[in-house]
Chain A
Amino acid sequence: MPELTYREAVRDALSTAMRQDDDVFIMGEDIAEMGGSMGVTAGMLDEFGRERIRNTPISEMALAGAAIGAAMQGMRPVAEIMYEDFLTLAAEQVVNQAAKLRYMSGGQLSVPVVFRTQGGAGWSPGAQHAQQLEAWFVHIPGLKVVFASTPEDVRGLLWSSIYDDNPVVFFEHRTLYPIKGDVPEEIEPIPLGRARVHRQGEDVTVIATGRLVHESLKAAEEAERDGISVEVVDPRTLQPLDEETLVASVKKTNRAVVAHEAVTRMGFGAEIAAVLQYQAFDWLDAPIERVGAKFAPLAFAPVMEAFVVPHADDVLAAIKRTVGKG
């Protein structure tokens, strides 16, 4: 099987779609010669030209809004928002417009746009360049939200997002761009709304997203040495959520830990915990644990950043608490 980095996998999905389909194009800041702030679109200007790899001024509202406008006319634009934090600037168009156009028009319109963005802590990006805001967008009816954590997943899911007729907020994680992984020879579209079980286990289910999938797998290895068998599941699509897989896993193990890099309080994990509590109440042998960032903006100093953000040992501690060894 070929191996791609997460970054290359994103590029591959974009390029393959653009080669096959004139309706797909990308707009974003610094995506042309520079190849994007994270290097995702590197080389694509040469292949596809300026018409379809469009640098925009620093105007997130127009960037998002024009993408929406083009999508309303039947194209499939991919708007790259440089940092997840800047989604806040584009939010009016994403939330008030894209999410609701189909609904308000009584079904006349569809908005097949993808808002691609990246975020996350690591290497001291500072408070305004490191947020994980998926909880904002899963809360908006009309949006789909995806957060893949492996090269194979990000490629297959981006493809499906481009070809979904709904607006999709597609989160990538900055520290995952360099990780390598096996991918199928040809792009295999991964349907939105399907979780992936990375690791089977019997004693506790860890539901994790983004960077925390990898941290959870590390924690699971460690837990294994302590005789705790851990199942790790990545929902991959946050909206719609694969409740069936998550609930079935927790019914099997009777314990759950939800882990994400975003701030724990009022985070996406709270929704998962509520869903599990409701659908698997009589199967729970321990309260559901949540692992996430502490309730503070992200500090600049590396020691403070490390303190706020969750790591493998936080997941491990949560695992142990669920089995009563915490």
Chain B
Amino acid sequence: MATEVILPRLGQGMESGTIVRWLKSEGEPVEKGEPLFELDTDKVTQEVEAEAAGVLLKIAVAEGEVPVGRTVAFIGQQGETVPDVSAAPPQETEAAEPRQDARPEPETEAPQQAAVASGNGRIKASPLARRIARERGIELSAIRGTGPDGRIVAEDVERAEAGAPAAAGAPAAATVRLPVGEAQRVPLTGIRKTIARRLTEAWQIPVFQLQTSADMTRVNALVARLRERDPDVRVTVTDVLTKVCAQALIRHRDVNAEFTEDAILLHPSANVGLAVAAPQGLVVPVIRSAERLSLPEIAAIRSDLVGRARESKLRAEDLEGGTFTISNLGMYAVERFTAVLNPPQAAIVAVGATEDRVVPFEGGTAVRPTVTLTGTFDHRAVDGAPAAAFLQTLKESLEDPGLAL
């Protein structure tokens, strides 16, 4: 019996990923642990390894965004029959032709259906619905209308924005079976357009990167100890990172900065943003004045923000005022990476996975949990030396957390 290759959930809160390309072709033998395909999750593309050995019998989804859990391929013995993918899906699928039976939950129906309801390619939506969609950057084609004749009315747009996750851009791809090799169109949501625009802006800033590694032994111990003492609070390594970065930013004010036309602004407080994968795209909620908060306080705020981010319930004020961002892909098998600046902030730190490494230690070698931190800095606002000093403080504080108290 062939083994199904499903889109893995690589991190808490991951709901989908985009298959960028397959590293093996159909018919090729695959070893367990061999990279099978490239997966795009938010800002980083990483390789997904095969969990079974055999022959890659069939690639079910060649490219595009796929919800977690969806079968994307089959590995098995040469000649084995491969089940029909459409029989297996974990959630409702729609064929490309519209279904006749109306569903009670509009969110699960293919957005394409709404778009072709009018028959000639024109989307039926009331003037009010169109205006709301226009003002808020919501794609009408992704919304199913509940008005007469399938017309999209204002309520439908409001509901879509409030984030029935599927309605806001859940992929038609999830519910449409495509023959292998055909490109799948995922319409751009408003949020994705915003992300694209901002990152393009960020890319044009003259930046430089500095890298350091830190021994996380003490941080791990601290986190374990804190959890033991307050099981309800659940402090994480991210919280420690937040606190440590905040302290370092206060210590190195010239990194807690922002470049403007006529001045470099040095912010008085460290408002640390955390990059979070939300259903509709990357969002960066901010923990304000993190330098003044205790770890449990940071944990509570972080938990609330991330939770709401996952439910698309963040408010504008949650996203405003950040002076620095932490992008942590440590939960994935990413050793190190470079983050793109989050303008107008002058610095961002990319945190890779904490992994056991063999390092020189007290004259010999030891295996120590080590993390690589890569800082990206806006050279217009921050020079190399201050950036390096900042990074050094980070390393020292992680290796000796008491320094950040």
Contacts and interface: CB of A to CB of B under 8 A. Distances in A.
Interface of A: 254, 281-286, 321, 324, 326
Given A282-B131, A326-B148, 15 more contacts: A281-B127, A282-B130, A283-B127, A283-B128, A283-B131, A284-B126, A284-B127, A284-B128, A285-B126, A285-B127, A285-B153, A285-B154, A286-B147, A321-B148, A324-B146
| Closest A-B pairs by Cβ, 6 of them | A282-B131, A285-B128, A285-B126, A284-B127, A285-B154, A282-B127
A321 B151 CA distance: 13
Contacts of A326: 148
B73 interface: no
Contacts of B129: 285
B146 A286 contact: no
Given A282-B130, A283-B127, A285-B128, A254 B148 contact: no
A323 to B, nearest CB: 9
Interface residues of B, number: 11
A281 B154 CA distance: 13
7 contacts: A254-B128, A282-B128, A282-B131, A285-B147, A285-B153, A285-B154, A286-B153
Contact of A324 (B127, B130, B153): B153
Contacts of A321: 148
A240 to B, nearest CB: 27
B145 to A, nearest CB: 10
Contacts, number: 30
A285 B132 CA distance: 11
Interface string B116-137: 0000000000111111000000
Chain B interface, DSSP helix/strand/loop, else mixed: helix
A324 B147 contact: yes
Interface in B142-190: 146-148, 153-154
Contacts of A282: 127-128, 130-131
A254 B127 CA distance: 10
Nearest to B128: A285
B242 to A, nearest CB: 44
A222 B126 CA distance: 26
A182 B154 CA distance: 40
A203 to B, nearest CB: 11
A281 B146 CA distance: 20
Highest count of chain A CB atoms <10 Å: which of B130, B146, B154: B154
A284 B127 CA distance: 6
